[in-house]
Amino acid sequence: MLCRSNTKDYYENNGVKGLTLYHLKSHLQKYRLGRQSCKESNDNSKDASVAECQDTGSSTSSRMIAQDLNDGYQVTEALRVQMEVQRRLHEQLEVQRHLQLRIEAQGKYLQSILEKACKALNDEAAVSAGLEAAREELSELAIKVSSECQGIVPVDNIKMPSFLNLLQLWRTKILQICQLELVIAPLKAA
């Protein structure tokens, strides 16, 4: 049985004496050269088939290279398309965000306009109610005055002030009251 498995031990165990690694390499080289010379003679007859095999091999490698290039191109193109889609989506998101901000601002503006309009209508209703009350009061006063002073001026000849005149009078009275309150407020505080 063999305990060691290197080349030198193999030859010593098989009874080959004096054979060294140098001899082994030399014999291998001679063997390879002999095979190569035999191959060369056979190669002349098989040049066509070898050339065909080499062409097939080179065309296969060319096809593999072309396939790799094509795959690389497809990956590059897919990445480019994906980046373009992402850019467009980003632009759309920016436009959508901008529109959302504009819609919110427009909503706030319309809300403030609506609040002002409601306030103006409430003020107008209060003014109208006040004017109607003042007009009725003036009418009653005119009737009382005319009944007490019969024969002086008939009721039909009394001209009632217009709505705008009453409104102006009413505003004037309110301003006077506000001014009085401004004068009286500091006096009350003292």
Q: Mean pLDDT across the stretch 139-164?
A: 63
Q: Mean pLDDT across the stretch 7-25?
A: 66
- In whole angstroms, give the CA distance from residue 183 to residue 172: 17
Q: Domain ranges for the chain, please list them.
A: 1-38, 122-190
pLDDT for residue 97 is more than 70 = yes
- In whole angstroms, give the CA distance from residue 177 to residue 165: 18
pTM: 0.32
Nearest CA to 146 among 161, 138, 169?
138
Instruction: Return the exposure string of 97-114: e unless at least 16 CB atoms fall within 10 Å of the residue's CB, then b.
Output: eeeeeeeeeeeeeeeeee
Q: How many helices (H) and strands (E) does the chain have?
A: 3, 0
Residue type, 111: Q
